[in-house]
Amino acid sequence: MSGTIDDKTLKCIRCGFCLSACPTFRLTGNEADSPRGRIYIMKSVLDGEIPIDDGVLQHLDSCLGCRACETACPSGVEYGSLIEQFRTKIEESGIRPTSQSFARKQMINVMTSPSAMKLAVTGASVMTKLTGKVGELPQFAADLITGTPGTHVKMPSIPSDLVSSKLKTFYPAEGERRYRVGILAGCVMRVMFNATNLATIRVLQKNGCDVVIPESAGCCGALHLHSGFENEAKERAKALLHSLNNSDFDAFIVNSAGCGSTLKEYGDLFAEDPGYRDIAMKLASKVKDVSEFLMEIGISVPEGRFNETVAYHDACHLAHGQRITSEPRRLLASIDGLKLVELPESDTCCGSAGTYSLFQPEMAVRLQQRKIDFIETTGANVVATGNPGCLAWIEQGCKERGLNVRIMHPIDILDQAYNG
Ligand code: SF4
Ligand code: SF4
């Protein structure tokens, strides 16, 4: 990644503007759980003043990687890449028990392998139906990945409309062709939210796009990268770059905020690698979140209506990672019948944060409950958000509380409006 960790920590002038933006600091009030505190810890380790010990591990593990501090920072601290680089350092230090590190990596490997994920999702779905209870990770797995025996780890909700139909490789534009775009079908999206992938394709076709789905365009490496497994992330990123290298797209569309954010930063990831730097930068320059792209090209107004009250939750890697906040709202506001209501603290993390709800379950549940409290105040019967983790985690929280609220990707809502 461009710039050393030292350079990035030096940019922090300790002004504290980021503190009130940080969800973990707001919950604990502990400086060591704030961005400024964490940067201080990282710098102390880098300067050799303190070792990477259990205390360092605890305060850095409890960071969501939500990047709200980056948006708030007047000094341009690139906290997202700072924490990613430092987490790699932590994993390499050997401080974490080998069994825990191995279990975490295997869990991410399962999540990012569509065939393994399909098996896991089917198993979890059957268990949930049989027991009638909110899904929990088996205790031995929860003990291993959290490192704290007896910890309960709630599973994100599994969508009831799992659509497993295989995607075609090409979908022609409706009417006059305006653009030729590629889509990242992804790994988690491909299994858990294939219905949203199909809706994304239909919406793009409707708006004059030839849509290409590169069969091999799966995992982008985001989950590995956010968890400190940089080598594994790079392996996946390289595979993706190879599979797309000869493609000629006007834009490469992503409907998962976490993946879009990572893809847009591929140039940084390969900054020191002359073999991949240029193709990484070329791909990064074409990446667009689906709402960003649609608002840029201008969409045809849906003829149908969507008569629901919708609250929009900003996925962290869309709002803070990509600074995209107005596009999804404008997209939703363009739909007849849809009443868009503001969700308090809409850009505060819901606790999902990639693997956070699995690895840091206690803090994740506190943030989830806070999010659900706010959702209840809006009176909305639909919550819209553009990231698979948020979709599944917020839905789990709403179901558990017995709320009659649907959680939908903005593109699913637009697609429904197009279909009357
Ligand atoms: S806002 Fe930026 S410069 Fe100020 S303390 Fe936070 S990270 Fe450091
Ligand atoms: S990434 Fe999020 S949780 Fe971590 S320090 Fe920044 S604001 Fe706090």
> pLDDT for 221-249, tens place per residue?
999 999 999 999 999 999 999 988 778 89
Tell whether ligand 1 has an atom less than 6 A from the beta carbon of residue 20: no
Q: Three-state DSSP class for 290? A: helix
**How far apart (Å, rounded) are the C-alpha atoms in residues 265 and 287?**
10
pLDDT of residue 138: 87
pLDDT band for position 121 (cuts 50, 70, 90): confident
pLDDT band for position 122 (cuts 50, 70, 90): confident
pLDDT band for position 214 (cuts 50, 70, 90): confident
Q: What is the tens place of the pLDDT at every residue in 73-103?
A: 999 999 999 999 999 999 999 999 999 999 9
Contacts of 101 (CB under 8 A, 6+ apart): 91
Q: To which residue do tokens 């840091």 refer?
A: 360
CA-closest candidate to residue 32, choices 55, 52, 49: 55
CB 24 within 8 A of CB 34: yes
CA-closest candidate to residue 350, choices 377, 379, 323, 388: 388
Q: What is the tens place of the pLDDT at every residue in 34-46?
A: 999 999 999 999 9
- Number of C-beta neighbours around residue 1 at 10 A: 20
**How far apart (Å, rounded) are the C-alpha atoms in residues 411 and 335?**
11
Ranking 2-11, 71-80, 146-155, 293-302 by mean pLDDT, the lowest is 2-11
Whether the pTM exceeds 0.85: the reply is yes
Q: What is the tens place of the pLDDT at every residue in 326-347?
A: 999 999 999 999 999 999 999 9
The correct answer on CATH 3.30.450 for the domain covering 170-295 is no
pLDDT of residue 7: 75
Per-residue pLDDT, averaged over 352-381, amounts to: 97
What CATH architecture does domain 5-93 belong to? Orthogonal Bundle (1.10)
Ranking 3-7, 37-41, 374-378 by mean pLDDT, the lowest is 3-7
Per-residue pLDDT, averaged over 301-310, amounts to: 95
The protein residue with its alpha carbon nearest to ligand 1, atom 4, reads: 15
Q: Three-state DSSP class for 120? A: helix
Asked if domains 170-295 and 300-418 share a fold, the reply is yes
Distance between Cα 17 and ligand 1 center (Å): 6
Tell me the domain boundaries of the chain: 5-93, 98-146, 170-295, 300-418
pLDDT of residue 3: 63
CB 188 within 8 A of CB 112: yes
| Probe target for ligand 1 pocket from 12, 20, 25, 31, with the most ligand atoms within 8 Å of CB | 12
- Number of C-beta neighbours around residue 414 at 10 A: 31
CB 383 within 8 A of CB 408: yes
CA quadruple 291, 208, 382, 126: dihedral, nearest 10 = -100
pLDDT of residue 371: 98
Q: What is the tens place of the pLDDT at every residue in 180-212?
A: 999 999 999 988 999 999 999 999 999 999 999
Question: 1 pLDDT exceeds 70?
Answer: no
pLDDT of residue 283: 95
**How far apart (Å, rounded) are the C-alpha atoms in residues 230 and 2?**
14
Cα distances from 350 to residues 136, 367, 402, in angstroms, run: 18, 5, 18
pLDDT of residue 381: 97
Question: 2 pLDDT exceeds 60?
Answer: no
Class of domain 300-418 (CATH, top level): alpha beta
Ligand 2 atom closest to 64 (CA): 3
Q: What is the tens place of the pLDDT at every residue in 124-170?
A: 777 777 766 668 888 899 999 999 999 999 988 887 767 667 889 99
pLDDT of residue 15: 96
Sign of the alpha-carbon torsion through 371, 412, 356, 265: negative
Kindly identify the ligand whose nearest atom is closest to the C-alpha of 13.
1
Tell whether ligand 1 has an atom less than 6 A from the beta carbon of residue 12: yes
pLDDT of residue 245: 74
**Angle at which helices 230-244 and 98-111 cross, to 10°:** 20
- Give the E-state strand segments of 226-356 in sequence order: 251-254, 287-289, 309-312, 339-341
Distance of CA 39 to the CA centre of its chain: 23
**How far apart (Å, rounded) are the C-alpha atoms in residues 200 and 211?**
10
**How far apart (Å, rounded) are the C-alpha atoms in residues 403 and 360?**
25
The protein residue with its alpha carbon nearest to ligand 1, atom 1, reads: 73
**How far apart (Å, rounded) are the C-alpha atoms in residues 80 and 178?**
35
**How far apart (Å, rounded) are the C-alpha atoms in residues 120 and 98?**
23
**How far apart (Å, rounded) are the C-alpha atoms in residues 396 and 47?**
43
